[in-house]
Amino acid sequence: MLSIFEVLSLPARREIIERLRDGPKSVGELADELGVGQPVMSKHLRVLRDSGFVTVRADAQRRWYELRPEPLREVAEWVEPYRWMWEGRLDRLGERLDAMRDEEENR
């Protein structure tokens, strides 16, 4: 079984996860949205399902895939100790943007 980071290493899988944020979608919908064939999409979805990122439910001939939050929480927990590395930079960026807006308004 692949690690969470191995699963996320492919841009196509990250894009599928992104598309599923809006709610369940079928293989066909995802394939059309991403411009790939259904067999390729099915392989990516199998990896995402086997790794716990998505669940699947059958509805007649269609299979609906839905995002599961648990693996993403695990990624967030892993990233958390490194948050300090960018939070300060984002704060400084926000301050700079506020100052630029103020300068523009005072002109």
Q: Tell me: the pLDDT tens digits for 42-96?
A: 999 999 999 999 999 988 888 999 999 999 999 999 888 988 887 788 788 888 8
Q: What's the pLDDT at 15?
A: 95
Pairwise CA distance, residues 70 & 75, whole Å: 9
Asked if residue 56 and residue 76 are part of one domain, the reply reads no
Question: How many residues make up the chain in this entry?
Answer: 107
* Residue 55 shares a structural domain with residue 101: no
Do 86 and 56 lie in one domain? The reply is no
Q: What is the largest CA-CA distance in the chain?
A: 64
Could you list the residue range(s) of the whole structural domain that residue 5 is in? 1-68
Q: How many domains does the chain have?
A: 2
The CATH number of whichever domain residue 45 belongs to comes to: 1.10.10.10
Q: What is the pTM of this model?
A: 0.75
Residues 35 and 52 in one domain: yes
Asked if residue 76 and residue 51 are part of one domain, the reply reads no
